[in-house]
């Protein structure tokens, strides 16, 4: 059975959802919360799936590209609405490119735009 560990970080950014009928079509911001989960089939000799500090550092590095920005102006979201779903998929890809330990992979990224609303991306 595989092991998983998760960590969370936050960032602040504005966006709007083009084509949406409602308030979200207007410029607004969120204090986003992101949870990244990595998986490994077995733990290391130390009993670790992946170092929490390393995962947190990598997640912070990814989120620094979007923190205090207008998401719609950034390359990943120029032609794609920056929804919680697309942000989760983007974070998953960026984090996956940075994890270089054999047998360890990003299993899930969750993005909250509020305390009650979350989207997740899992690559299968």
Which CATH number is 79's domain given? 3.30.479.10
Decide: 20 and 72 in contact? Cβ < 8 Å.
no
pLDDT score recorded for residue 124? 74
Q: Report which of residues 37 and 1 the model is more confident about.
A: 37
Condensed to tens digits (0 to 9), the pLDDT of residues 45-81 reads: 777 788 999 999 999 999 999 999 999 999 999 999 9
Decide: 62 and 79 in contact? Cβ < 8 Å.
no
> Other C-beta atoms within 10 Å of 107: how many?
18
pLDDT score recorded for residue 101? 85
For residue 75, what are the domain limits? 3-121
Q: What are phi and psi of 51, to 5 degrees?
A: -70, 120
State mean pLDDT over 30-56.
89
Domain count, the chain: 1
């Amino acid at each position: 059975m595989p092991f998983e560990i998760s960590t969370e970080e936050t960032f602040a950014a504005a966006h709007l959802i083009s084509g949406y009928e409602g308030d979200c079509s207007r410029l607004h911001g969120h204090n986003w919360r992101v949870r990244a989960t990595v998986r490994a089939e077995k733990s290391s000799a130390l009993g670790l799936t992946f170092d929490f500090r390393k995962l947190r550092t990598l997640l912070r590095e990814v989120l620094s590209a979007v923190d205090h920005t207008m998401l719609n102006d950034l390359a990943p979201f120029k032609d794609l609405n920056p929804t919680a779903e697309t942000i989760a998929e983007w974070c998953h890809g960026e984090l996956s490119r940075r994890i270089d330990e054999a047998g360890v992979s990003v299993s899930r990224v969750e993005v909250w735009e509020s305390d009650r609303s979350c989207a997740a991306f899992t690559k299968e």
